[in-house]
């Protein structure tokens, strides 16, 4: 089953891994981005595991844009 989530920030969370969630984020600028959480996680995994926020909060968020590694990549 696919879970659909609306958000005001880009987010990758340990608790969402494996749930095949589709997230649609609308930034303050009005730009929107829709992505499959698991596909985005796979592309970002190597870098995420090195971040303090990943270990401390078990998540990565951005309220202004999507990570560069996901730009120009199909993640639906």
What tokens appear for 27 in the block? 């930034």
33 touches 22 (CB < 8 A): no
Cα–Cα distance measured from residue 3 to residue 8, given in angstroms and rounded to the nearest whole number? 17
pTM: 0.91
34 touches 24 (CB < 8 A): yes
Which tens digits make up the pLDDT trace of 35-51?
Answer: 999 999 999 999 999 99
The answer to whether residue 63 scores a pLDDT higher than 80 is yes
Cα–Cα distance measured from residue 42 to residue 27, given in angstroms and rounded to the nearest whole number? 23
- Could you count the other beta carbons within 10 Å of the beta carbon of residue 41? 19
């Amino acid at each position: 089953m696919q879970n659909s989530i609306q958000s005001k920030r880009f987010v990758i969370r340990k608790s969402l891994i494996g749930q095949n969630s589709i997230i649609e984020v609308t930034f303050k600028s009005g730009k929107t981005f829709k992505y499959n959480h698991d596909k985005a996680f796979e592309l970002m995994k190597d870098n995420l595991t090195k971040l303090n926020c990943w270990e401390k909060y078990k998540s990565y968020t951005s309220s202004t844009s999507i990570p560069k590694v996901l730009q120009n990549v199909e993640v639906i």
